[in-house]
Structure 1
Amino acid sequence: MSIKILVLVFSALIISARPELIADHHLSTRISPFPSESSSNSPFIPPLPPFTAQSPAIASTSFTRVPALFVFGDSSVDCGTNNFLGTLARADRLPYGRDFDTHQPTGRFCNGRIPVDFLANRLGLPFVPSYLGQNGTIDKMFQGVNYASAGAGIILSSGSELGQRVSFAMQIEQFVDTFQQMILSIGEKASNRLVSNSVFYISIGVNDYIHFYIRNMSNVQNLYSPWLFNQFLASNMRQELKTLYNVKVRKMVVMGLPPIGCAPYYLWKYKSQNGECAEEVNSMIMESNFVMRYTVDQLNHELPNASIIYCDVFQSAMDILKNHQLYGFDEPTEACCGLGRYKGWLPCISPEMACSDATGHLWWDQFHPTDAVNAILADNIWNGRHVDMCYPTNLETMLHA
């Protein structure tokens, strides 16, 4: 093993050093998620064929009344924010991005496109650029900005052991600053119209479990049961969504949390014998999704003219896992890139760690899906092509309302 690989492995050991999950007796009574509204008896609809490299501005459907797409979140939608930060959570080197349109790493934690890339295509918009990657001119922000940062959480300190990251609250502050710049540039009336007609996509919260609750930061497990912790997160999310509403945001997509108990890291961590998911982890995620969906429903009734949809990523991801062969995947448990059983021991830090073809894999690395899975998720968000995972409706229907 070369010195270069040794250095990379030691770096990976720092990143992957995570404490054991809390014991079962610390978990409160489990709440089942909302019943699946996808029909298991319905005929299966095969995924769309893979996207070919093309101009992202060429879309299958164009909505002239959707001027921009604004993105907030963590590594699930980071498109390059962390390239500008001092952090171990980086995706700025190959093999990340090898199957992207440019075949180069961009900061996306994937082999190719992330969900918002596919949705931008649907909306007739270009790929949304990173806020920190902008040159400071407001002109290039009128079609959207991506504020997402890998490692970020709803809680300010979530992910702090990885280094710098932009928390959810800080991302909201960055958008407010962008909005103020818009007002100075095109006036208040035009800015209000642009923002109120734009789509705001929010995907955050999983790091509050991986890097905060499970690590028992600030002795949180003794202060909050998982159920109370979920309510705490939802309360914070409520306040941030209301902040967006107060600056004229009306169309929001709030993503639920994925089944990280099925991710290669936890399969390795809990010594899964045949790819069984870590149910202790997934139980907390299902509870969180239950509370977050209820919170979104409350806000829709509370905020006049608000159109907020909640998309249950857990539901969609579990359908893909259960029916992976029908979706065209032959490897549902092992990541394409990493080391150890299920490729879950060490993260993806070198091209030599990656499989030659990721198309048959659900997982790209320890925690992130491949772009093929992202395309399916985007289909479901858009119009429920495979699973009706968004409530009270999907994005396409919301925009037509």
Structure 2
Amino acid sequence: MALNLLVSLFSILISTIFPQPRALQYSQHDRFAFGPNLIHSIITPTSSPTSSTSISPPQPSSLAPALFIIGDSSVDCGTNNFLVTMARADHLPYGRDFDTHRPTGRFCNGRIPVDYLGNVALRLGLPFVPSYLGQNGNVEDMIHGVNYASAGAGIIFTSGSELGQHISLLEQIQQFTDTYQQFILSMGEHRAADLISNSVFYLSIGINDYIHYYLRNVSNVQNLYLPWSFNQFLASTIWQQIKNLYDLNVRKLVVMGLAPIGCAPHYLWQYRSENGECIESINDMVREFNFLMRYMIEELGEELPDSNIIFCDMFEGSMDIIKNHENYGFNDTTAACCGLGEYRGWILCLSSQMACSNASTYIWWDQFHPTDAVNAILADNVWNGLHTKMCYPMNLKEMVLLKEN
């Protein structure tokens, strides 16, 4: 058994460090300049829309024409499969409980939250949207939305860089501008703007700025910024990027807060938690960040005309699950389903031999990521607050139903 496990770990490590050649098509050293001139060039193309092939936007019966996702591993659906990085979920047991029972690049045993929001007939009613690097670049492939999220990505450009390549927040927004320009050239400026303004954008990022930057004290950041000042820096950066998205006709935006990583198996192991008690010093930073973000969203909602921006507090939703785990059917609130070490928080999930048999009884899938069962509950709350209220000033269902007004 031990020999087989070592062989499995070695083979997965090799495939992680030396992925498929397609990954080399994207360079982590690429830099993107995002500013007013770029925005103007996207919204005002040099060629006439009527001179290009006309592709009309879809007329679905869903509550939104498309779903666009920007974020990190919490919503990555396969971007990192095409990058040279150690942050990869393209092997079993990841995906074992997904619809196809195969790994897709999602950092979960099954679906991630956006899968439950988009690919459900009674919700947005959209097909699974492809990762930006996992589609062929045709407008037909992107018309229902694109997932730009990348595991390891943060608000700070270099957050997570020790893991290898990733697509940062700024780069993901650049990828969206490229998508938008393709829409303009294919269907015309007016129809493209109408599609984007009626689509739902889902932003879930920021946790890696703590995991891979602040808590690791990269560049001596803890001596330069107290937690409150660091939180203000991150929130102000998000503020500006939301305004940039607004300038690109984004009007419906879900901004996710951070989860209680102080309860994650990795930090229970690292801080040698007794009896599985959460690391409150870490959770305090998350609470502060979410407080700032909720206030900022309220301010932006008043500042940006015709915008519908909601903030969903992942900390509140997750702590409700942890505190009331028995009511939700969870037996284990501290250990990961897959991993090694105390609380299975030492090593990332690398082999099926490291995984539990029934993930539905666990809150945590691996060191940092929740199970499919938790994602389903959180998606319920984002959609209509079914289990507990975590979105302000409204939930996603209420937001999309405002589209006729």
Amino acid aligned to 2:391? C
One-letter amino acid of the counterpart of residue 238, structure 1: W
Instruction: Compute the displacement of 1:223 (Å).
Output: 1.2
Q: Pick from 78, 81, 99 the counterpart of residue 79 of structure 2.
A: 81
Q: For 2:333, what is the secondary structure of its paired residue?
A: coil
Deviation at 1:10, TM superposition (A): 11
Q: Does 1:194 align with 2:192?
A: no
Deviations 1:236-272 (A, max 9, x none): 1011111110010000000000000000001111111
Aligned to 2:224: 223
Contact 1:376 1:386 in 2 (8 A): yes
Q: Superposition pairs for residues 280-291 of structure 1, below 5 Å?
A: 280-291=281-292
Residue 276 of structure 1: CA displacement?
0.4
Q: Which residue of 2 aligns with 1:29?
A: none
Cα distance in 1 for partners of 2:333, 2:320 equals: 12
Is the aligned partner of 1:115 residue 2:116? no
Relative to 1, partners in 2 of residues 1:324 and 1:63: Cα closer, same or farther, differing over 3 Å?
Answer: farther
- 8 Å Cα contact 2:69-2:203 kept in structure 1: yes
Using the TM superposition, give the Cα deviation of residue 2 of structure 1 relative to its aligned residue in structure 2, in angstroms. 2.2
Q: Distance in 2 between matches of 1:175 and 1:258?
A: 25
1:2-401 to structure 2, matched below 5 A, reads: 2=3, 5=6, 8=9, 64-120=62-118, 121=120, 122-401=123-402
1:102 deviates by: 0.1
Q: CA deviation at 1:189?
A: 0.5
Rate the CA distance shift 1:4–1:372 in 2: closer, same or farther, 3 A. Answer: closer
- Pairwise CA RMSD of aligned residues? 1.6
> What CA distance in whole angstroms lies between the structure 1 residues aligned with 2:132 and 2:139?
11
CA distance in 2, matches of 1:145, 1:205: 20
Shift in Å, 1:8: 2.5
Gaps of 5+ in 2: 17-59
The gaps in structure 1 that reach 5 residues or longer are 16-61
Q: Residues 2-29 of structure 1: CA distance to partner in whole angstroms, max 9, x if unpaired?
A: 27616727988xx9xxxxxxxxxxxxxx
For normalisation by structure 1, the TM-score amounts to: 0.86
Q: Distance in 2 between matches of 1:63 and 1:373?
A: 28
Q: Distance in 2 between matches of 1:217 and 1:354?
A: 32
CA distance in 2, matches of 1:9, 1:225: 40
CA distance in 1 between counterparts of 2:62 and 2:183 reads: 19
Partners of 1:63 and 1:295 in 2: CA distance = 33
Contact 2:97 2:109 in 1 (8 A): yes
1:305-338 Cα offsets, whole Å, 9 max, x none, are: 1100000000000000000000111111111000
Deviations 1:360-381 (A, max 9, x none): 0000000000000000000000
- Evaluate the alpha carbon distance shift between residue 329 and residue 7 of structure 1 in structure 2; reply closer, same or farther with a 3 A threshold: closer
User: CA deviation digits over 1:151-206, x for unaligned, max 9?
Assistant: 00000000000000000010000001100000000000100010000000000000
Supply the distance in 1 between the matched residues of 2:397 and 2:129 (Cα, whole angstroms).
Answer: 19
Distance 2:12 2:185 in 1: 44
Cα gap change, 1:357 to 1:196, in 2 (>3 Å): same
Question: Aligned equivalents of 2:358 and 2:74: distance in 1?
Answer: 21
Cα distance in structure 2, aligned partners of 1:138 and 1:108: 24
Q: Label 1:382 to 1:159 Cα distance change in 2 as closer, same or farther (>3 A).
A: same
Match of 2:334, SS state, is: coil
Contact 1:66–1:198 under 8 Å retained in 2: yes
- Residues 326, 245 of structure 1: alpha-carbon distance in 2 compared, 3 angstrom cutoff: same
Indicate the SS of the match to 1:332: strand
Q: Distance in 2 between matches of 1:396 and 1:109?
A: 26
Aligned length, in residue pairs: 353
Q: SS at the partner of 1:118?
A: helix
1:104 aligned counterpart, secondary structure: coil
Of 245-254 and 1-10, more deviation after overlay is shown by: 1-10
Distance 2:230 2:10 in 1: 34
Letter of the structure 2 residue corresponding to residue 358 of structure 1: A
**Which protein is richer in helix relative to its size?**
2
Higher relative contact order (CA 8 A, sep 6+): 1
CA distance in 2, matches of 1:63, 1:252: 20
Which AA in structure 2 matches 1:372? A
Q: Could you tell me how far apart the structure 2 residues matched to 1:380 and 1:316 are?
A: 7
Task: Measure, in 2, the Cα distance between the counterparts of 1:10 and 1:367.
Answer: 23
CA distance in 1, matches of 2:106, 2:350: 14
Corresponding residue SS for 1:192: helix
SS in 2 for 1:177: helix
Alignment match, 1:30? none
Say if 2:63 and 2:124, in contact at 8 Å, map to a contact too.
Answer: no
Distance (whole Å) between structure 1 residues aligned to residue 5 and residue 324 of structure 2: 40
**Retained in 1: the 8 A contact 2:5–2:353?**
no
Q: Encode CA deviations 1:274-310: one digit per residue, 9 max, x unaligned.
A: 1100001101111111111111111001000110000
**Aligned residues of 1:65 and 1:197 also touching (Cα < 8 A):** no
Kindly state the Cα deviation for residue 64 of structure 1 after the two structures are TM-superposed.
3.5
